[in-house]
């Protein structure tokens, strides 16, 4: 079954009860899929978390499989950002780190911001309808 690395916007939608992301992810888990996060997701979620949200946020993040950012993944992310910059494409380093985690671990990235990742060769995307 598939392993989905969640983009931070998807995790935030779950926490905020938006766009029925929780229902979608529950159905994927029932089908046998695995949901995952990485250090970038954790840092981004915690950067906007309010104190009263700590328990539910901790529980949600710990329910996902966790993938570390290794030396090799960090290098790959930097190279991705550099390659895109050489083509005149400005992409966020955080997004390139998430993409590099997905590529290194053969994960499918679930995002509603596919435009942030579409130029990354070899990346498997599950593009959700965007927030906008």
Mean pLDDT across the stretch 68-81?
96
- Could you report the per-residue pLDDT of 11-45, keeping only the tens digit for each? 999 999 988 898 999 999 999 999 999 999 999 99
Residue 132 counted as domain residue: no
Q: Residue 121 carries which DSSP code? A: T
- For the residues of 37-71, what is the DSSP string, one character each? EEHHHHHHHHHH--GGGHHHHHHHHHHSEEE---H
Per-residue pLDDT tens over the stretch 76-87: 999 999 998 998
Residue 69 to residues 27, 41, 55, 84, 113: CA-CA distances in angstroms? 28, 11, 24, 20, 21
Q: Is the pLDDT of residue 132 over 60?
A: no
> Tell me, what's the pLDDT at 129?
83
Q: Which residue has the higher pLDDT, 19 or 60?
A: 60
Which tokens go with 9?
A: 């916007």
pLDDT at 36: 98
- Of residues 54 and 121, more confidently modeled: 54
pLDDT value at position 117?
Answer: 84
In a domain? residue 43: yes
Average pLDDT over residues 37-63: 95
CATH number at residue 22: 3.40.50.1010
* Domain, as residue range, for 67: 3-127
Q: Is the pLDDT of residue 131 over 60?
A: no
What's the structural domain count of the chain?
1
At CB < 8 A and 24+ separation, what contacts does 120-124 make?
Answer: 120/80, 120/96, 123/99
- Specify whether the CB–CB gap between 126 and 4 falls below 8 A: yes
pLDDT, tens digit, 9 for 90 and up, residues 89-122: 888 999 999 999 999 999 999 999 888 887 778 9
């Amino acid at each position: 079954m598939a392993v989905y690395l969640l983009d931070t916007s998807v995790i935030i939608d779950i926490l905020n009860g938006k766009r029925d992301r929780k229902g979608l992810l529950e159905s994927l888990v029932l089908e046998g899929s695995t949901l995952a996060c990485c250090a970038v997701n954790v840092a981004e979620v915690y950067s906007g978390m309010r104190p009263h949200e700590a328990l539910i946020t901790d529980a949600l993040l710990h329910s996902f499989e966790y993938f570390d950012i290794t030396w090799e993944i960090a290098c790959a992310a930097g190279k991705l950002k550099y390659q895109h910059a050489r083509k005149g494409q400005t992409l966020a380093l955080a997004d390139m780190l998430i993409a590099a985690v997905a590529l290194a671990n053969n994960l499918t990235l679930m995002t509603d911001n596919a435009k942030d990742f579409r130029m990354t060769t070899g990346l498997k995307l599950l593009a959700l309808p965007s927030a906008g």
